[in-house]
């Protein structure tokens, strides 16, 4: 599903490597937690997977797509396979919950009838039934993150990248979001979760990849984490 082979990323000739010779293999339907301090290289890794950035060297293959052969015009097709959720939600403030999720389908040309059929199912999945007509500023932080997750999964991506999705949430809402990610994973979506939350990592007992100074220093099948 995800393969990185000796991937290095350097943003400029004078700067140190953001990532150095990173090799990684993630199976379909895996739930993988990526940890590391700020600046360790987690965000760079995610940007490489979504093709926001290109590696300086090395090979990346995601969902059978070899990034070396990926043409710019095919990047939108790649991104339909990858849903992304951010710490700061990135919702459209002047659109309702329904409209925020529908927007992800509008931009790929889905018909209004298909949108009206699909969006309510996804809002039900993430626990937002009845909130369709509310605007982001009428929601709690946890509810806004649920909208962001609904928008990320509405196109049924094979992979969901959740980049610090609990960073702005209190412990209860953080766990609500983690449990939602586990639910999505059970439906067959590969999940990559980046987090600083040591309690979440230790309680989940899932595969943990630790990045430090741009390199993978630990890859544990099930285990805790200490910064």
- Cβ atoms within 10 A of the Cβ of 198, count? 13
Give tens-digit pLDDT for 27-52: 999 999 999 988 899 989 999 999 99
In 73-180, where do the E strands start and end? 82-85, 159-163
What per-residue confidence (pLDDT) applies to 58?
97
**CA 145/CA 168 separation, integer angstroms:** 10
- Specify burial of residue 134 (Cβ count, 10 A radius: 0-12, 13-18, 19+): middle
Read off the pTM: 0.90
In the predicted structure, residue 3 carries a pLDDT above the cut 70: yes
Mean pLDDT of 87-108: 92
Contact at 8 Å (CB) between 179 and 102? Answer: no
Give tens-digit pLDDT for 115-152: 999 999 999 999 999 999 999 999 999 999 999 999 99
What per-residue confidence (pLDDT) applies to 197?
87
**CA 72/CA 83 separation, integer angstroms:** 18
Tokens matching residue 6:
């000796």
What per-residue confidence (pLDDT) applies to 77?
82
In the predicted structure, residue 227 carries a pLDDT above the cut 70: no
What per-residue confidence (pLDDT) applies to 225?
54
Select from 198, 212, 141 the least CA-distant residue to 173. Answer: 141
In the predicted structure, residue 222 carries a pLDDT above the cut 80: no
Contact at 8 Å (CB) between 191 and 15? Answer: no
Mean pLDDT of 90-94: 93
In the predicted structure, residue 98 carries a pLDDT above the cut 90: yes
* Topology of the domain comprising 25-55+76-220: Rossmann fold (3.40.50)
Q: Can you tell me whether residue 208 is helix, strand or coil?
A: strand
Mean pLDDT of 77-96: 89
pLDDT confidence band for 76 (50 / 70 / 90): confident
As a whole number of Å, the end-to-end CA separation of the chain is 28
Tokens matching residue 81:
């396979």
List C-alpha distances in Å: 76 to 3, 80, 83, 119. Answer: 20, 6, 12, 21
Mean pLDDT over all residues of the chain?
92
Mean pLDDT of 168-178: 90
DSSP state of 1: -
**CA 225/CA 164 separation, integer angstroms:** 16
**CA 221/CA 65 separation, integer angstroms:** 26
Give tens-digit pLDDT for 46-58: 999 999 999 999 9
Tokens matching residue 101:
């999720």
């Amino acid at each position: 599903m995800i393969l990185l082979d000796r991937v290095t990323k350097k943003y400029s000739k004078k700067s140190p490597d953001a990532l150095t010779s990173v090799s990684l293999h993630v199976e379909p339907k895996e739930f993988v937690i990526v940890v590391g301090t700020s600046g360790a290289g987690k965000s760079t890794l995610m940007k490489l997977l979504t093709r926001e950035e290109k590696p300086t060297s090395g090979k990346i293959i995601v969902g059978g797509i070899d990034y070396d052969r990926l043409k710019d015009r095919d990047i939108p097709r790649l991104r339909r396979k990858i849903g992304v959720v951010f710490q700061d939600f990135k919702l459209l403030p002047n659109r309702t919950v329904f409209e925020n999720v529908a927007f992800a389908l509008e931009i790929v040309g889905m018909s209004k009838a298909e949108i009206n059929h699909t969006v309510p199912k996804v809002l039900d999945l993430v626990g937002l039934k009845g909130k369709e007509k509310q605007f982001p500023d009428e929601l709690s932080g946890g509810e806004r993150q649920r909208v962001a997750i609904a928008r990320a999964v509405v196109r049924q991506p094979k992979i969901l990248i959740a980049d610090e999705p609990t960073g702005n949430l209190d412990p209860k809402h953080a766990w609500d979001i983690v449990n939602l990610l586990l639910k999505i994973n059970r439906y067959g979506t590969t999940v990559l979760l980046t987090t600083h939350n040591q309690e979440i990592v230790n309680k989940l007992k899932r595969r943990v990849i630790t990045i430090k100074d741009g390199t993978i220093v630990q890859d544990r099948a099930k285990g805790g984490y200490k910064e």
